[in-house]
Structure 1
Amino acid sequence: MKRLLLPIVLITFAVICLSIVHIDNINKLDAQSNELRKKHETERAVDYQANNPSTIKDTK
């Protein structure tokens, strides 16, 4: 039983560390995805207004 304890502990530690790194990477990717989505929506809105000047209201 003692011979199995060290490998089991090391494998468990490795799995926990890799899980933490994986979750951190997923969170970073999610943040980047949201940032790019907002940027893309802003660019589409600017392009739409530039191509459709009738949508811009006169403030006179």
Structure 2
Amino acid sequence: MKRLLLPIILITFAVICLSIVHIDNVNRLDAQSDELRKKYTTEQYKVEKPTNTSIVLPELK
């Protein structure tokens, strides 16, 4: 039983540390995603859309 105690403790510690790092990375990615989404929507509204949207095709002979 004593032989298994140290590996179990080390594996548990590693899983907890990796979980904390993973949650932190997900939160950072979420913040960056929100920032890029805001930037994209503001740039999208800044672009002026052309008033004439019809397409003129050349006549085929």
**Structure 1 unmatched ranges of 5 or more:** 54-60
- TM-score, with normalisation over the residues of structure 1? 0.80
Determine which structure has the larger helix proportion and give its number.
1
Aligned-residue CA RMSD in angstroms? 1.3
1:13 aligned residue:
13
Which aligned runs of 4 or more in structure 1 are off by greater than 3 angstroms? none
The CA deviation at 1:52 is 5.6
Identical columns (%)? 73
Choose between structure 1 and 2 for higher RCO, CA contacts under 8 A separated by at least 6 residues.
1
**Structure 2 unmatched ranges of 5 or more:** 52-61
- TM-score, with normalisation over the residues of structure 2? 0.79
How many residue pairs get aligned? The number is: 51
